[in-house]
Structure 1
Amino acid sequence: MINRRLLALMLRPLMHNRRRLLLAIVLLLTATAMDVMGPWLTKHYIDTYLVPRDLRVEPLTLLLALYVATQGLAALGRYLQTLYFARIALDAVHALRRRVFRHVMHLPQHVHDATPTGEMVARVTNDTDDLRELYVEFLATVLQNLMLLIGILIAMALMDVKLMLIAATLIPVAAVIIWGYQRASGPAAVEVRRLRAGQNARINEAIGGMSVLQAFNQTERFRARYHDLNVAQYHARLHTIRISALLLRSALDLVGVIILAALLIGYGVDSLVGGAEIGVLYAFVTWLGRVSEPLIEITQRFNIFQQAGVAGTRLLSLLDRPQAAAGDDNRAIESADYRLETLAFRHHGADHNTLDDVTLDIPEGRFIGLVGHTGSGKSTLLDLLGGLQPVTKGRLLLDGRPIETLSPSVINTVMASVPQEPFIRSTTLRDNLLMGLEADEASMARALDEAQLRELIDRLPDGLDTPLGERGLTLSTGERQLLALARALLRQPRILLLDEATASVDSLTESRLNRALAGLKGRVTMVVVAHRLSTIARADEVVVMQAGQIIEHGAPGQLLDNPEGAYYRLWHQPSNDLN
């Protein structure tokens, strides 16, 4: 359903190109006027020169030159207005994509967690591209053919009003056909769009996990699931094609033939009564063909309008999602300490709290280890400390100020994080290390040394300029973790958050990470979610979590002196790992 907000989304970009749009319309009007002149000049030739057999060279040459000039100007006008409409469309889509992508970049984390990557990509690319088709294929075609239709009707009326009224009956019939087409094909267009987004999501999922699919012999199962989507989309598209074939060209062609017959009968009656001119018949038959064609073109473009409507609705649903709240406190961080006061957090749409009644002080420069079994809330707490999720209840203070009041730029100047699955781009190691930061060679070398990565740099063929491949798969898991740590250290943070950085690394990489953390102790506030307890053996304080609550905390040695404590039991379990 096209509503006011959807129309505003689709037509707003045109308002930023009013001058170019006005010029395109002027060119369109000129081309239309020249195009309509063709049958008029031919009618004048037939009735004035051909039928009376007046074949003088001078007037015929002038008439021919005028005909060629008008048709040449019509062709030139159509060419230029097509270029202008294409430019308007590209500018509009460019602006819309920037707007949508900017909005996506500021959506809350829970939206990205709940939305398949392929579907989000389809919103930014496919849906915006459908709006480009709206401007180029639909808007330009409709305006062009609407102007042509009006011009032809005016020319017909000036020549013979009664015959014009006969020809004009094609227009309300076409309007009824367009209405029926919209009603019949609308749901099918929505289904095609939904299945297309599902295909994108399935492709993205399969390619991203191809190594796992092949290792577990699941490629056929995924192929079958994609095949089902493909078949469903095929039938949905076939349904729209059947409706289009029935209600667009076929129906309008039939109506056009009926009206042509009525036109011939009307001309015959006029001939019997008053002797109508043969040139008039030629002009009307020619114009009637051109009346049918614009209507067919307009109706055939309505499927593009429908697709654009569906795409616009999907974009509006994305743009309507509220962005992550950002504070406006731009004062510099003076003390990199945290205070958590009866903190609670509930994930979007969940029916219970993930964290509940968490109270904790983290002084500046302290090394805090977070431990607990899977699902205890460690990573969620780390997200809150990083400002990635909003607090549901209680208070989370950084530098004595609620973290939600601090601007992201202030937080980013003092904080860096190392996720469990590092984000590595398919560019060079240098690009991945800098990640948009400007730093000299000495600063990069210092960060690499602190992260224990010097040996890797010496081993790579092009050093920092070595391409890392898709998702950095040319590096080992441990090397990707160390690169993420080096990237964080290059920013010289005062707060460092690590989420199970040793969960998937070998013993050598773990020892390197431990040495790196030991070198930062006392200088940086560190909160480390530990999968292996050896990672936080030198922590100032260990916090044990269970079911979203802190059940024990204290110095590691102190906790190990209590055989009845939770940390003691975790330390003495066989693997010394938390699962």
Structure 2
Amino acid sequence: MSQSSTLNIKDEQVTLAADAIGTQGTPPYSWQRIFDLVLQHKGLLIKAHIIAILATLATVPLPLLLPLLVDEVLLNDPGWIVAGLQAIAPETWYGAIYYIVAITVITILLRAIGVGLGVWQMQQFTVIAKDVTYRIRRDLLARVQGVSMAQYETLGTGSVNATLVNDVNTIDTFIGTTVGKLIVAVLSLVGMTLILLWLHWQLAVFILLMNPIVVYFTMRMGRHVKSLKKKENSALDAFQQSLSETLEALQQVRAANRDRAFFDRVRGKAKNVKQHSEAFTWKSDAASRLSFLIFLVGFDIFRGVSMLMVVFSDLSIGQMMAVFGYLWFMMGPVQELLAIQYSYNAADGGLSRINSVLNLQQEGQYQPKVQAFNQPDKTKVEVRDLVFHYPGKQHQVLDGLSFTLNPGEKLALVGASGGGKTTLVSMLLGFYQPDSGQILYNGHDIRDIGYEPLREQVSTVLQTPMLFNQSVRFNLTLGRELDDQACWEALRMAQLDETIRELPEQLDTELGRNGIKLSGGQRQRLAIARMILQDPKVVIMDEATSALDMATERELYQDLAPFFAKRTTLIVAHRLSSIKQADRILVFEDGKIIETGDHESLLQQQGTYHKLYR
């Protein structure tokens, strides 16, 4: 890309796909895609299905054994069960006590085996589900990590948190628990159907014809439950967003004596959650109970028909009791089939919200084409004809802005609030794309440099730095491996070392939410120490010392003078004491540079600067 060319970004859209990395986006998650992820665990799937078959073989005969003893022992009509027991025991054991005790022991053993196999089978599906949900969360985190700043400004953190936790958990539950139980339920129903057909095919056909009625009503109610679940999730989103905002700003809210109003707002969101959760909970419970009622009505009808079959057909009393046992035993698998409808609807709603996060607009990641910062010389920054407006707004925040920040220079940018200074700082870091114009470092466009190398060498200290509820060391290094000596040296340069040495655990002291254990000025100096450790080529001080008194600020800049002498520095400030640290001052108004010079010359011009600082 030519250094002299002025690039119109709107005309470059066709080439962005070729230059950007990772902007294609993560494909949306469909049930087919999740199924494909599950199939990647073929070994575990085969194992789980084999275990499910064994569990079915162990549990399906249970309702049959003891009832048939009624015919074979109590009604003195020996059959295959008695014959089988006689084949494995001496003749002296023959009798009702042996038969009943033996079948009872066998039944207990089969139940225990069935439970053990069920746990083993569930373990296989849990491993599969956790892997799938880990991949989903990994993709979601990648999208949030790369979200464009324009999208980030409208992004509710509570909504994203709910998706990463609650919605992904619904997928986890559906795959790990519901589907695992479904396989056993289906196999059990198949096994029970075969046994019922063997016992009395006419009665079995009648039972099978009634089952679709239960399925039909369940699906109808399930669709209504899905709609209720979406409303509940939306209410939870709003509550989490409001709560997180209030907690993050609790000190300022309380200082403004507005904590009652803010928490009333949170309580209002909580009331919405209560209302929607009430509707979802009792209506879904009612739907489940109605489905179960249909099953019980069918159960009573089946029992009546079974007794009639004893009277009018060859169905024995023992076989009738076996049918009763299977009807009751069938309740578990049928309930699992009913539950999958609700679990699927909840998971499907979560899936749509997961895809909404995956659809977040991404920041363009450009392949580095040049190495702009590999020279030992100081860095030159150029802004050429920069034009920018926020999406959905007509007003141009930056209107043909041009200036040069010479290597090693300290340049101050001043102007009234709302003039576009903070927007410019964001654009110098590549957070926003200009409508037209260029930003160059050592003559190279930031898109040719790439954002990672750019942000490694351009460090910003903000008026309100973000501090984490972790140790002083972590807040200094942001997880980089740096020795304590480097940390203490940076703190010394930022005039904060004595303060940190007085803390109970020094570098290992936890700072609390947003660094609440430090004063405003101490938080700013900690952010300056963090910047020093980054060792950048370009430093941007955006109201970075506004919380310091003028004497402390003057001493700080004196201590930082050797550090700044080796770097190119942009100071964005309103305070005169900060501005006087600069070699040159630019006066910023309505997205343009209207005055330039040093402090004395600008005062003599009797212009905007004179009005601001006379």
Alignment of 1:453 onto 2:496: yes
3-state secondary structure, aligned to 2:402: strand
Cα deviation per residue 1:129-174 (whole Å; 9 max; x = unaligned)? 2222222342223333222222222222233221111111232112
Q: Which residue number corresponds to residue 324 of structure 1? A: 363
Partner of residue 24 from structure 1, selected from 33, 40, 48: 48
> Structure 1 residues 512, 467: CA separation in 2 closer, same or farther (over 3 Å shift)?
farther
8 Å contact from structure 1 (residues 13, 95) kept in 2 = no
SS at match of 2:545: coil
| Shift of residue 218, structure 1, vs aligned partner | 2.4
- 1:577 is matched with none
Counterpart for residue 185 of structure 2: 145
Q: Within 2, Cα distance between the matches of 1:9 and 1:353?
A: 43
Q: Report the CA distance between 1:53 and its aligned residue.
A: 5.7
Shift in Å at residue 484 of structure 1?
0.5
| SS in structure 2 of the partner of residue 417 of structure 1 | strand
The alignment status of 1:371 with 2:410, answered yes or no, reads: no
Matches within 5 A, 1:8-23: 8=32, 10-23=34-47
Q: In structure 1, what residue type is equivalent to 2:318?
A: G
User: 1:531, CA displacement in angstroms?
Assistant: 2.2
Deviation digits for residues 201-255 of structure 1 (CA, Å, limit 9, x no counterpart) = 1221222222233333323323332232222222222222333233323343234
How far does residue 357 in structure 1 lie from its aligned partner after superposition?
0.9
Work out whether 1:546 is the aligned partner of 2:595.
Answer: no
Deviation per residue, 1:490-538 (Å, 9 max, x gap): 1221111111112333224322343245333441011111121321213
**For residue 46 of structure 1, what is the amino acid of its counterpart?**
V
Residues 218 and 291, structure 2, Cα contact 8 Å, conserved in 1:
no
Q: Which residue of structure 2 lines up, in the alignment, with residue 566 of structure 1?
A: 608
> 1:434: Cα distance to partner?
1.6
| Selected match of 2:456 from 413, 417, 425 | 413
The secondary structure found in structure 2 opposite 1:169 is: helix
Q: Secondary structure at the match of 1:107?
A: coil
Distance in 1 separating the partners of 2:190 and 2:230: 33
Q: Counterparts of 2:233 and 2:190 in 1: how far apart (Å)?
A: 35
Distance between the aligned counterparts of 1:12 and 1:231, measured in 2?
40
Query: Is contact 2:495–2:525 with CA below 8 Å preserved after alignment?
Result: yes
Structure 1 CA distance, aligned partners of 2:522 and 2:271? 43
Give the corresponding residue for 2:388. Answer: 345
Give, in angstroms, the shift of residue 446 of structure 1. 3.0
Mapped contact 1:496–1:525 kept (Cα < 8 A): yes
**Paired residue for 1:180?**
220
Shift, 1:377, TM fit? 0.4
Corresponding letter in the other structure for 1:439: L
Secondary structure of 1:527's partner?
strand
Task: Give the Cα–Cα distance (whole angstroms) in 2 for the partners of residues 531 and 143 of structure 1.
Answer: 68
Determine the C-alpha separation between the residues in 2 that align with 1:122 and 1:513. Answer: 43
**Are 1:110 and 2:131 counterparts?**
no
Contact 2:151 2:361 (8 Å CA) reproduced: no
How far 1:395 moved relative to its partner?
1.5
Cα deviation, residue 9, structure 1: 5.6
Kindly indicate whether structure 1 or structure 2 has the higher relative contact order, using CA contacts under 8 Å at least 6 residues apart.
2
Deviation digits for residues 365-384 of structure 1 (CA, Å, limit 9, x no counterpart): 12111111111000110111
Note the alpha carbon deviations across 1:446-472, whole angstroms, 9 max, x for none: 322322223323433443233322221
Pick one of 174, 182, 188 that aligns with 1:134: 174
- Measure, in 2, the Cα distance between the counterparts of 1:380 and 1:148: 64
Taking the TM superposition and a 5 Å limit, the aligned residue runs for 1:399-548 are 399-548=442-591
Shift of the 48–512 alpha-carbon distance from structure 1 to 2, 3 Å rule, reads farther
| 1:209 match | 249
Could you say which residue in structure 2 is the equivalent of 1:50? Answer: 74
| 1:390 and 2:390 are equivalent in the alignment | no
Distance in 1 (alpha carbons) for counterparts of 2:292 and 2:298:
10
Q: CA RMSD, aligned part only?
A: 2.5
Q: Residues of 2 paired with 1:256 and 1:463: CA distance? A: 68
Q: Does 1:34 align with 2:58?
A: yes
Once the two structures are superposed, what CA deviation does each residue of 1:410-442 show, in whole Å capped at 9, x if it has no partner?
Answer: 223322211221121222222211222223344
Task: Give the secondary structure class of the aligned counterpart of 1:110.
Answer: helix
Whether contact under 8 Å (2:382, 2:404) holds in the other structure is: yes
Check 1:155–1:386 CA distance in 2 against 1; reply closer, same or farther (3 A cut).
same
Contact 1:451 1:512 in 2 (8 A): no
Q: Cα 1:568–1:12, aligned 2, differ >3 Å: closer, same or farther? A: farther
Contact 1:167–1:288 (Cα < 8 Å) also in 2 = no
Q: Percent identity?
A: 23
**TM-score, normalized by length of structure 2?**
0.86
Give, in whole Å, the separation in 1 of the partners of 2:33 and 2:391. Answer: 28
SS in 2 for 1:376: coil
Higher mean alpha-carbon deviation, 286-295 vs 201-210, is at: 286-295
> Unaligned 5+ residue runs, structure 1?
573-579
Contact 1:163–1:263 at 8 Å: present in 2 too? no
Aligned to 1:282: 321
SS of equivalent to 2:330: helix
Equivalent pair of 1:502/1:532 in contact (CA under 8 Å)? no
Q: Does 1:314 align with 2:353?
A: yes
Return closer, same or farther for 1:457/1:242 CA change in 2, 3 Å cut-off.
closer
- 1:420 and 1:4 mapped to 2: Cα distance? 39
Q: 1:180 to 1:106 in 2, by over 3 A?
A: same
2:258 maps to what in 1? 218
Do the aligned residues in 2 keep the contact of 1:34 with 1:71 (CA within 8 Å)?
Answer: yes
- Aligned partners of 2:218, 2:35: CA distance in 1, in Å? 21
Rounded to whole Å, the distance in 1 between the matches of 2:288 and 2:471 is 54
Distance in 2 separating the partners of 1:480 and 1:12:
49
Deviates more, 1:59-68 or 1:69-78: 59-68
Q: Distance in 2 between matches of 1:374 and 1:287?
A: 77
Please say if 1:256 is aligned against 2:256: no
* 2:571–2:579 CA contact under 8 A, matched in 1: yes
Q: Is the 8 A contact 2:397 2:591 kept in 1?
A: yes
Identify if the C-alpha distance between structure 1 residues 104 and 516 changes in structure 2 by more than 3 Å, giving closer, same or farther: farther
| Letter in structure 2 aligned against 1:132 | D
CA 1:85/1:283 → structure 2, altered by over 3 Å: closer, same or farther?
same
Structure-2 change in CA distance of 1:162 and 1:117 (3 Å): same
**Cα distance in 2 between the residues matched to 1:511 and 1:483:** 17
2: CA distance between counterparts of 1:506 and 1:154? 86
